Structure 1
Amino acid sequence: MQTSCAPKLQDVKAPIQDPQEFSITGTDSIPEKWWTTFKNPTLDSIINRTLETNLQLAGDWQQFRAALATVQREKSFLWPDIEASARTAISRPEPDFAGGENLQIGLSASYEIDLWGRIRSGIEAERFRAQASYFDYQAAAMTLSAETAITWFQLLSARKQLALINKQIETNEDIVRLIRARFTGGQIRAVDILRQEQLLESTKDQQIVYETNIQLLSNQLSVLMGRPPQNDISIPADSLPQLPELPQTGLPLELVRRRPDVRQAYNLVLAADRDMAQAIRNKYPRISLNLEGQMRSNNYNSLFQDWAYTLAGNIVAPLIYGGRLRAEVDRTQAIKNQVLYDYGQTVLISFREVEDALIREHKQKERIKVLQARLDLAKKTSDQLRIEFLNGLSDYLDVLLQLDEQQQLQRDMIEARQNLLEIRISLYRALAGDFGYEPTESSQVN
C-alpha cells in the first residue's frame, strides 16, 4: 500500500544544453559485435575467447549477481518474519518446582505494513543499483573488447615493423659491403663507411625494440585472455585489416540511450532518488503487527493439549530525533544532486569521445596522405642521389641521410596506419551500445 505523501519517481534529464548533431557522419551501421566490421576471423576468435575467459570481467559479473541478491534481500521485508522457538528445562528437586514450565514450543510472526512505501522505495533503489551494475558489466565488456582489439593490432604492427626492420638491416648490410668495395678502389672515404655502419647499428637497435614489443604485447594479450603470460599461445601471423567505411553517428540522444556507461550513470541517479524518497518516508509513522503462539507443559505427553496466542499492533511515530531524520533527507538529496551532475558529465564525455574520434580519424587520414607523399618523394630522392653518387656528382653523406629518412618514413607509415585503426576502435567504442554479452555456464570461474 502506498500513498501520495512522498515524491514519485520521474524521468531524469541530464543537466546540460540540448546537443546538436555530430560534425561528421558515415553510412554504415554498427553491428552489436562491432569488431566484426573488420571482417577478420582471427580477431573475432580472440575477442570471443577473451570475453569468455577474462578474470576481471568474470569478477564484474559476480558483482552484478551480488547486486541481484541484494534486491531479493530488500524484497523479503515485504513479507512477515516468522520464527520458531523451542525450550526445554529440567528443575530439581521436582517438589520445589511443581508448577514450573519445563517444555515450551512457539511460533512468532512480525510484519510491518508498508503504509507509506518506505520499504518499496528501498527495493526500487537496490533494483536500480542492480541495473547500474549490469550496465557497468556491459561497459567493462565493451572496454575489454576494445583493449583486446588494440593490443592485437599493436602486435600485428610490431610484427610488421620487425619484418620491415629486418629488410632494412639487410639493405644496410649490403650497402656496407658495397661501399667497402668502393673504398678499396679509392672512390669513398673511410668516414662514409663508419657512418653507414652507424646507421646499420641504429636499425639493429630498432630490431631489439620491436622484438621486445612483440613479447610484451603477447604477454598482455595472454593476460587479457585469462592465461599465464609464460604459457605459449598460438597467434597466427596476419596483416593489418583494411579500415571499414565510416559508421553512422546517429543523433546524440540515441547515443545516450544505448551507451552502457551512460545508462549506468542514469540508473545511479534513479537509485539516489529512491534513497531520498526512503529517507523522507522514514519521518512517517510505522505500523507493525506481531503474533505469537505458544504451547507449554511440564511433560511431553501433555505438551500439545493447551496453547495460547498473542496478537499485538504497534505504531511508532518519530517525535524528537535531534534533527537526525531531516539531516538524512538533506544528505540523500545532496547525493542525488551529485550523481545527477555526474550523469550529466558522463553524457558530455560521451559526446566528446565521439567528436574527438571523428576529428582524429579525419586528420589521421590527412596525415597518412602526407606521409605517403613524403615517402614517395623520399624514394625518388634516394634513387636520384644514388645515381649521382655513382657518377661522382654527389657526396655519400647525402645518400646516407636520405636513406635514413626513407627508412624512418617507412616505419612511421606502419605506425600511422595502426593508429588509424586504433582511432576507429575508439569511435566504435564511443558509438556502440552494449552487445548484450552474458557469460555462459562453461565460462564461469569456479
Structure 2
Amino acid sequence: MRCKFLILTVLILPIILSCTAFKPKIAKVETVLDNTSGAMPADFIDNETLWWNIFDSPEISVFMDKAFGNNFDIKAAYYRIKQAQASYRKSYSNYYPSADLTMERSYNEQKKENFNVVTTDTWSLGLNVSYEADIWGQTRAEAESAALQIEINRYNLTGSALILSTDIAKTWIDIIANKIKLNTLTEQLRLNRDIYSILEERYYNSMAALIDLYQQESVIANIQSQIDDTISEIKQLKQSLNVLTGTHPGAKISIDTKKLPVIRPIPEDGLPVSMLRNRPDLKASWLNVQSAAWNVSSAKADRLPSLKLTGSYNYSDERLSNIFDNWALNLAGSLIAPIIDGGFRKAEVERTKAVLQEAVMTYKQDALNAVKEAETALLNENKYVKRIKNTEERLTIAKKSLIEAERRYYSGISDYTTVLNERLNIIELKSSLTEFRSARIKSRIDLYKAAGGKIPELNEILKEAENGRTAKK
C-alpha cells in the first residue's frame, strides 16, 4: 500500500511543481480624479479632527455619539462585516484537509431452510480524509476575493457613518433655522396686529376703508398659518433627528442652540483631488474592482485539472469492543480534468470578466460623481454667499429707511403705519438672511460629505455598534 502511495506521489508531484497559479493583473484605471486639480489649502478640510467640529458645538457632538451607538443602519452595516468575515473563513478553510468520522451499526436477520434464524450484528467505524491541492490558485483567489469583501464592507460602514453624520447635521441646522424663523414670524404677527389696530382706529375715524381691514386680517391669518406650519416642521425635524439617533420618534428632544453656527469662508481656488480620494465609497469601489479581478482568476483556474488526495480508515466487526483493534488503510489520489461541460466554465470566465469591466466602469462613474458632488457643493455655497451679501446690504438700507421713517413720524410728517411697514421689511430680510445662511451651512456639510470628512475611527464605530452604547470620543 505504501509503495502505491509513493508511486502516486512521484507521478503527481512534478505536475504540482510545474503549475503556475493564476493571479489578477490589474492595470491602473484612469479616472477624472487623475485629470482634475485644485489649489485649496490642504488644511481647509482637517482630516485630523471630526468634521463637525467646524460648528464648535457640544450639542451636535452629543447627537453624533448617540447615533453611532444606536442607529440601526450602522448596526446593520456592522453585521454585514460579520457576514463577510464568516465568508472569508469559509473560503480560507479550503486550504486545509477535511475529515469526516463515521460510525454505523447494521442488523440483519436471515431465515434458513430449517427455519433457523441467523442474526448478524455488525459495527463499522470509518475516517475519511480528503484534500484538494490548490495547484492553480483557485482557493487563494476565492479567499483573496472574500478578504476584500471584508474591507469593502468596512468602507461601506464608514460611508454609512459619514452619511449619517451629515444627515444629523443638516437636520440640526434645519431645526435651529426654523426656531429662528418661528421667532421672526411671531414678531411679524405682533407688528401686523399693531398695524391692524391702527387701521381699525382710522376706520372708525373714517380715515381708512373697510377693505384695508380685510386685507390686514388676511395678512395676519397668513402669518398665523406660517407659524403653525413652522411649529409642525420643527416637530417633524425633531422626530427625524430621533430616528437618526436610534430613538423613538416621539421621544423628547431638546435643541438649546439659538443661533446658526458661524463657519469660515471657503477659499476661491477649489478643492484638491487628494481630498476626494479620502471618500470611503471610492475606496470601496476600487476594492470591488480588485475583488472582481480575483474572481476572474478563480474562474480561469476552475477550467483546469484539479488534484484531489483522499485517505480512508475503515474497520468492521461484530463486537464494538474490537472496533479499534484493527484498521484498514486506503490512500488514493485523483486528477480530475473537465472535458465536456457544455461551455459552462468558459462562460463563467467570460461572465467574471464582464463583471470586472462593470466594476471598472462603476469605479470611474463613482469618481466622476465625487467630483460633481464636490463642485456642486462649492457652487451652491458661493451662490448663497452672494445672496447673503446682497441681503445684508438690503438690510442695511432697510435699517436706514426705518430711522428716516421714525424721524418723519416723530416730526408729524407721516403716520406710524409707515414705521411698522419698515420694521416688517427688516423682519422679512432677516428671515431671508436666516434661510440663506442655513442653506450655505448645509452646502458646506455637502462639501465635507463629498470630500470624505473625518469621522470616528472604525474600531470605535464597530465597538458602539456591537455594544449598542455611546463611546467616549
Task: Calculate the TM-score normalised by the size of structure 2.
Answer: 0.86
Which segment is superposed worse, 100-109 or 212-221? 100-109
The one of 432, 435, 438 aligned to 1:412: 432
Aligned: 1:228 with 2:248: yes
| Structure 1 residues 235 and 401: alpha-carbon distance in aligned structure 2, compared to 1, 3 A threshold | closer
Residue 165 (structure 1) aligned to one of 170, 185, 205? 185
User: Which position in structure 2 is the counterpart of 1:262?
Assistant: 282
The answer as to 2:75 corresponding to 1:75 is no
Q: Distance in 2 between matches of 1:393 and 1:187?
A: 16
- After superposition, residues 327-342 of structure 1 pair within 5 angstroms as 327-342=347-362
Please tell me whether residue 196 in structure 1 is matched to residue 191 in structure 2: no
Shift of 1:202: 1.7
Deviations 1:342-361, CA, capped at 9 Å, x for gaps: 00111111112222222221
Q: 1: CA distance between counterparts of 2:465 and 2:153?
A: 22
2:8 alignment counterpart: none
Which position in structure 2 is the counterpart of 1:252?
273
Q: 1:45 is matched with which residue?
A: 62
Of 18, 31, 34, the match for 2:34: 18
Match in the other structure for 2:50: 33
| Partners of 1:106 and 1:293 within 8 A in 2 | yes
Which deviates more, 259-268 or 30-39? Answer: 30-39
Contact 1:219/1:229, CA 8 A, preserved across alignment? yes
CA contact (8 A) 2:153 2:284 kept: yes
Return the match for 1:139 from 159, 162, 166: 159
Q: Does 1:439 align with 2:462?
A: yes
SS at match of 1:92: strand
Deviation at 1:252, TM superposition (A): 1.2
1:58 is the counterpart of 2:79: no
Q: Which amino acid is 2:349 matched to?
A: V
3-state SS of 2:446 partner: helix
Cα deviation, residue 20, structure 1: 2.8
Mark the CA change 1:249 to 1:316 in structure 2 (over 3 Å): closer, same or farther: farther
Distance 2:108 2:466 in 1: 60
The equivalent of 2:321 in structure 1 is 301
Question: What CA distance in whole angstroms lies between the structure 2 residues aligned with 1:271 and 1:260?
Answer: 16
Q: Distance in 1 between matches of 2:167 and 2:235?
A: 17
- Verify the 8 A CA contact 2:69 2:468 in the aligned structure 1: no
Contact 1:53 1:443 in 2 (8 A): no
Which residue of 388, 391, 399 corresponds with 1:368? Answer: 388
Number of paired residues? 445
Which residue in 2 is equivalent to 1:174? Answer: 194
Sequence identity of aligned pairs in percent?
24
Is 196-205 or 157-166 further displaced after alignment?
Answer: 196-205
Alignment partners' CA distance in 2, 1:314 and 1:330: 28
CA distance in 2 between counterparts of 1:22 and 1:360 reads: 17
Letter in 1 for 2:322: S
Q: Alignment RMSD, CA only? A: 2.9
TM-score (norm 1): 0.91
* 2:105 matched residue in structure 1: 88
- Secondary structure of the 2:38 match is coil
Q: Which residue of 1 aligns with 2:377?
A: 357
After superposition, where does 1:282-321 map in structure 2 within 5 Å? 282-321=302-341
Please give the alpha-carbon distance, in whole angstroms, between the structure 2 residues aligned to 1:167 and 1:26. Answer: 44
Letter in 2 for 1:428: Y
State the distance in 1 between where 2:430 and 2:274 align: 42
C-alpha separation between the residues in 2 aligned to 1:249 and 1:371?
Answer: 25
Summarize the Cα distance change of 1:15–1:340 in structure 2 as closer, same or farther, 3 Å threshold: same
Distance 1:182 1:250 in 2: 60
**Residues in 2 aligned to 1:127 and 1:203: alpha-carbon distance in whole angstroms:** 60
Q: Which moves more between the two structures, 403-412 or 44-53? A: 403-412
Which secondary structure state, in structure 1, belongs to the residue aligned with residue 102 of structure 2? strand
Partner of 2:447: 427
Structure 1 unaligned residues grouped into runs of 5+: none
Query: 1:217: Cα distance to partner?
Result: 0.3
- Name the stretch that deviates more: 431-440 or 368-377: 431-440
What is the CA-CA distance between 1:188 and the residue it aligns to? Answer: 3.3
Residues 194-203 or 284-293, more deviating: 194-203
Quote the Cα distance in structure 2 between the aligned partners of 1:22 and 1:110.
59
Deviation at 1:177, TM superposition (A): 1.7
Q: Is the 8 A contact 1:159 1:214 kept in 2?
A: yes
- Structure 2 portions without partners, runs of 5+: 1-15
Q: Structure 2 CA distance, aligned partners of 1:144 and 1:81?
A: 44
Q: CA deviation at 1:275?
A: 0.7
Whole-Å separation in 1 of the counterparts to 2:327 and 2:42: 79
Q: Provide the C-alpha distance between the structure 2 equivalents of 1:419 and 1:402, rounded to a whole number of angstroms.
A: 26
* CA–CA separation in structure 1 for the residues paired with 2:462 and 2:440: 31
Q: Please give the alpha-carbon distance, in whole angstroms, between the structure 1 residues aligned to 2:52 and 2:136.
A: 49
Bigger mean CA deviation after superposition, 299-308 or 260-269: 299-308
Partners of 2:426 and 2:215 in 1: how far apart? 16
Question: Aligned partner of 1:65: which letter?
Answer: K
- C-alpha distance after superposition, 1:259-314 (max 9, x if no partner): 10000100111111011111111111100001000121111232222210110101
8 Å contact kept, 2:176–2:258: yes
Give the deviation of 1:136 after TM superposition: 0.7
SS of the counterpart of 1:89?
strand
CA contact (8 A) 1:27 1:245 kept: no
Letter in 1 for 2:467: Q
